[in-house]
Chain A
Amino acid sequence: MKLLVCISQAPDTTSRIAFTNGDTEFDSNGVQYIVNPYDEWYALVRAIELKEQNGGSVTTITVGDAGCDPIIRKALAIGADDAVRIDVKPTDAMQVARLISEHAKGAGYDLVMCGKETIDHNGAVVPAMIAELLDCGFVSNATHLDVNGSAATMRREVAGGEEIVEVSMPCVLSAAKGMAEQRIPNMRGIMSARTKPLTVETASAEAETRVERFALPPEKGACKMIDAENAEELIRLLREEAKAI
């Protein structure tokens, strides 16, 4: 099986979120970047499991500048065979989807696997865009994936439960919790990752949106404390003051 896993970098969850340049850019000063958790824990690990079971190869693809190389090396340490980095600083989802699908078109991948969303822009739309550009089937928020012959059987999160979906391959999926368990790279993986091929490609594609400005949410007011002895008071406040029930 030939598997392509889309890997994005994202600020570590505990990062301080601040903006610069007149609130038009994310302030990356002092920010630690990680592999976007959904890409790593679910999509990448499931791809590696499929390769271990069925043979084949796992390639990762990232749109970004050389600053992304550390997280790409981590994906290689976890078990990807090789990596592609498209040397473009991404500005929107459409641009990223166009660049990835240009690479994937005609390259013979059976599955293109993504995380369900990135934890910075929270768009969750690049995977379906890639599917449309490659004219193939798509399953969002997949929690389970099995491959049998030329079809993939997946479970996907929908309101109120999960659907079981069969999709002919090649296809694209976005992975959610349940698809695989996080893997910690071992020393052998980390050593071998240094010499695995990382190909840098140059390309360009149009973006269709732009960030005008960022803003931080208003500070939350002080938490109103209610005595545990008088817990019923909370229900009164929720009804009369917060009007939440």
Chain B
Amino acid sequence: MSVLAIVSTKNGAAAKSGLEAASYAAAVAKANGTEAVALVAGELSNASDLGATGVSRILQTAEGITDSGQWAKLGAAAAESTGATVVVASHDALGRAVAPRIAIRMNAGLVAGVTELPANGSVRKNVFSGKAMADIAVNGTVAVYTVTPNAFGIASDGGGAAVETFSAEMGTAKEVVKGFEAASADGQVPLPEAELVVSAGRGLKGPENWGIVEDLAKALGATTACSRPVSDIGWRPHHEHVGQTGITIRPNLYIAAGISGAIQHLAGVNQSKVIVVINTDPEAPFFKAADYGIVGDAFEVLPKLTAAVHALEG
């Protein structure tokens, strides 16, 4: 028996979401008195970070894999060879494509987007776009979990892990990656992984005014986001749109300026740990979901906040 972690990589290193999945797997293994094993496809330049999550072994393939069907065959084979009764992946692009396929191959119960460790025979996840939680139990003996990004911290007190070469019969690839287009050229953390997010809406009055949003984001090391109307009218790119139909995020801090807080917007951001709302309208519904609020003009407040961040650093 063991717990298998499917670890996503980016640029040849275990990704943040992959380290989160490994940490979760190690915690599940510890609670069950067994070992956690990590599975990585291709290059891994930060094996020590992955070992520090608490996994005791790292299985590594010679080549990277982009095909979700091949990945699933590999994952199921690794689960079989390690006797895994729990398979953990991040609820990221890789996990969303591969974990369901592994669940099918293993006839396992899949719980997607878990936010806490299993307890009392079930595991908690968010449902109804963050407006409720559900405790889900798995009917059979094998469980597959995908872990919500930013919900589970990365452990760093593990003892290190041995790297072993692993291979499996994977058949032919049906999906071929032809290219990649970066969403932003300025090195911001991608929105789903971002811990700090500064977002703005129609209250900014025009795309030419986004400098004050970007300045605050830059000072904090935050990622910029926007509301749906702003991306729909082309002030900001679509990939910045957070909300029901855009991207769902779960940062430690979400600062929203000039966004009223329609329920569709809240659905994408309500899992943020701390929410700050800046709006000229004291009746804006977003204040009800906020931890901190400022009734005021974003054009005055944002530069003050940027200056205060710089002052802290100075």
Chain A residues close to B by CB (< 8 Å): 11, 13-14, 17, 19, 37-38, 41, 92-94, 97, 119-129, 131-133, 135-141, 143, 153, 155-168, 171, 177-178, 207-217, 220-221, 223-228, 231-232, 234-239, 242, 244-245
Contacts and interface: CB of A to CB of B under 8 A. Distances in A.
B62 interface: no
Main secondary structure of the interface of B (DSSP, over half): mixed
Interface residues of B, number: 97
Given A208-B103, A226-B292, A238-B292, A159 B305 contact: no
Contact of B136 (A14, A210, A242): A210
Contacts of B113: 122-124
A228 B301 contact: yes
B174 A136 contact: yes
Contacts of A220: 288-289, 291
A223 B305 contact: no
B312 A235 contact: yes
A41 B245 contact: yes
B49 to A, nearest CB: 17
Interface in B134-185: 134-140, 146, 174-184
Contacts of A166: 175-176, 178
B136 A214 contact: no
Given A17-B132, A178-B238, A211-B134, A234 B292 contact: yes
B183 to A, nearest CB: 4
A226 to B, nearest CB: 5
A123 B112 contact: yes
A41 B264 CA distance: 15
Q: Which 4 pairs show the lowest CB-CB distances between chains A and B?
A: A228-B296, A137-B174, A208-B109, A128-B100
Given A159-B190, A209-B137, A237 B178 contact: no
A126 B96 CA distance: 10
